[in-house]
Structure 1
Amino acid sequence: MAAVASADSWLYEQFNTDGPVRTDYDASGQQVAMLNLDRTSGAGFNSKEQYLFGEFTIQMKLIPGNSAGTVSCFYLTSGDDDGHDEIDMEFMGNETGNPVVLNTNVWASGDGKKEHQFNLWFDPSADYHTYTIIWNPTNIIFKVDGNVIRCFKRYPDLPYPNSKPMTLHATLWDGSYWATEKGKIPIDWSGAPFVVSYKSYSADACVSGSACPAGSDRSFYATACIGGVCHAGRDGWMSKQLDAAEWGTVRWAERSYMRYNYCNDGWRFPQGLPAECSRN
């Protein structure tokens, strides 16, 4: 059955925690989870359930000031083995006054290196902003404040994450070796502890191992999910495709804010760009 998190106590109902995680409530009664990063430890939380397809949304308020070297994440992963699947939204901190970079990526059967990176067009530390991943059998959609910025399409002959259940994670960690200007700018620990706040989490998703409801179209479920996993409505996220206006926001994001597209990186792929690059 579909999993839906409750707004007022989503953290402990839906997740396990790791490291220094604090909670509070905002003025509207929404639970806020705060991840801390210092020299000794990062922090995170990961879902108790595994999912196969769904729509996952959270609001985040990132680190103010100099956040260079830090990485704040909202992502799905099937594990850390060589053949894992993963869908990433990674927020790469920056020096004061420079834009935070959102790195989106998709891994399928251990095949990754499919990054699109965008400079955020607002200060993500000044207030909460909404980040969404929609994952269904035909495409993966990334949204910021309701605006679609990327769509990763499935092609029948190419790897795509469609069979391995994934756990949802949020983490804050030291990415000094990689995050800011390819590792040139490390964390300034004089600003620690660094804090990222999460709230208003929701998941409308296939829960791995759930039983299909009586009277459901099992032939449809069998083609869309594995062994008894069910979805929340075939007119919602499971069948979601971009319309013309949403493709327009993708073009707007690429034209105005994209800073890296793996399909333009011939140096990284000397034997030829990944096959999907010529089809999108």
Structure 2
Amino acid sequence: MLWSGSSPLTAARAGMWGFLMFAGAAWLVVGWSVLRLEPTDLARVAGPIVLFGAVCEGLRALAGTRTWWLNAVLTVLFAATGTVMLLSDDTGWTTTASLIGWYLLVRGAVDVAVGIMTRGVDRVWSLVVTVGVLETALGFLAASPLARGAQTIVVILGALGVLRAIADLVTALRLREIAAKGRDLLELPPERATGLTGYSAGHADYEGPKHRARQGATESFHDQVVRTTADLDRMLAEAGITGPRVPKKKAPDIQDLPPAPDTLEGIENAAAPEKSAGGH
């Protein structure tokens, strides 16, 4: 929770921390300046202070947090409240005190609710909850019959400036911390950057058009068998492996062959033993 309704894990635009730092410093100036006001100037100053609070809510919404929509709603609500305070012709401090109390009650309730909801994801949640409780208490005081004097309203406005300054300054510092961590994660050592470049180049070659064309080409089963066999023969040849050699049969010796008969009687005599063997 970077501020009311914000989580450090969901901040999308860490560059907003500078604007919130400026807003926190401005709230400190507001808290110090209102203590020097004359009672007659109170009604003219309270409206711009609430409008400045609406601007700060708009900055939080632009930071892109998980609850940006809540900050956007508060922006519209506080802008309407400040406009009503500027257009009011009440010569006393009743309307001014009640609208300041309204602003503090809403702002404090949101801080307390969202701070408790995000207590498991941010280490400063208790600080924001404390700020919300104090704002809610000031809101009750401003809206109560006790705040009918100008001096009381001036003190409430001064306390409002200090509390909002604390909340915005803490928010700005947390956003800056997250931005620094993000840069450290994105910067790789030289050797890892070189390895990542080589991996990216190899992946691009693997996913190139030639590889995709080869994968997408359709071939018959016969073509697949022929291609696989050719690849296997090529790999075996590269490895220096050849097929088994078939031993040559020894030619029979001429002396072991029976003599060839030259006459018809010799042929009949050669066939006679075969017949006698068949008779047995």
**TM-score, length-normalised on structure 1?**
0.21
In terms of fraction of residues, the more helix-rich structure is 2
In terms of fraction of residues, the more strand-rich structure is 1
